[in-house]
Amino acid sequence: MRNYGEAFRSRNVILLCAQYFAWSIGVYGFVLWLPSIIRSGGENMGMVEVGWLSSVPYLAATIAMIVVSWASDKLQNRKLFVWPLLLIGGLAFIGSWAVGANHFWVSYTLLVVAGAAMYAPYGPFFAIIPEMLPRNVAGGAMALINSMGALGSFCGSWFVGYLNGATGSPAASYIFMGVALFASVWLTLIVKPANNQNLPLGAHHA
């Protein structure tokens, strides 16, 4: 690829933009509305308790990100550590919705799993891009993909809030975020490794 125009029109960059858009819908819908979701499910729960419970998914995510990034580097396989975790996150959202508020701790545990699973693939995902594109366009492509993620963040946080207000419960939000993650799984799977001689060793595993 000789310039940004070619990179931005490439199939893989377009797919990764769409993938990160859908992924960010789930992540930022979760991030902004997690305290409200916990508060709505936990009866007589104060702000301090909500704050502590809201922090647990991020602790789990911190550990998961380190472990997953290490494993991805060890095996030199990026996609293997992206789509399965996003699938787990989507299933955890749907499971949390299915369990319902009547079983708060089970539902909450599934939210912790969803949070960790959504954050864990960031390292492998952003390693895919420079391994797939020449160095002269990789930076611009990453900027475009990040921009689509920012747009997905806005859409996710806004629409989750809308669903919570319109339905009076987080149930529809769980389904929405789960479906967004399922879409990101599919988009990850159909990204194909680029046949480029300038790619570093191991790039064909992306």
Does residue 159 lie within any of the structural domains? Answer: yes
The C-alpha atoms of residue 184 and residue 160 are separated, in whole angstroms, by 17
Does residue 174 lie within any of the structural domains? Answer: yes
Q: What dihedral do alpha carbons 34, 37, 42, 45 form, nearest 10°? A: 60
CATH number of the domain residue 83 falls in: 1.20.1250.20
Does residue 204 lie within any of the structural domains? Answer: no
pLDDT in tens, the chain (206 residues): 566 777 778 888 899 999 999 999 989 888 887 887 787 766 677 888 888 999 999 999 999 999 999 999 999 899 999 999 999 999 998 998 888 777 888 888 998 999 999 999 999 999 988 888 777 888 888 999 999 999 999 998 899 889 988 988 888 888 998 999 999 999 999 988 655 434 443 444 55
Does residue 205 lie within any of the structural domains? Answer: no
Does residue 206 lie within any of the structural domains? Answer: no
Does residue 200 lie within any of the structural domains? Answer: no
- pLDDT of the residue at 188: 94
Name the domain count of the chain: 1
- pLDDT of the residue at 41: 66
- pLDDT of the residue at 19: 96
Does residue 83 lie within any of the structural domains? Answer: yes
Does residue 143 lie within any of the structural domains? Answer: yes
Domain that holds residue 150: 4-42+49-192
Tell how far CA 88 is from the center of its chain.
Answer: 11
Locate tokens 């366009």: which residue? 137
Coil/strand/helix, residue 78:
coil
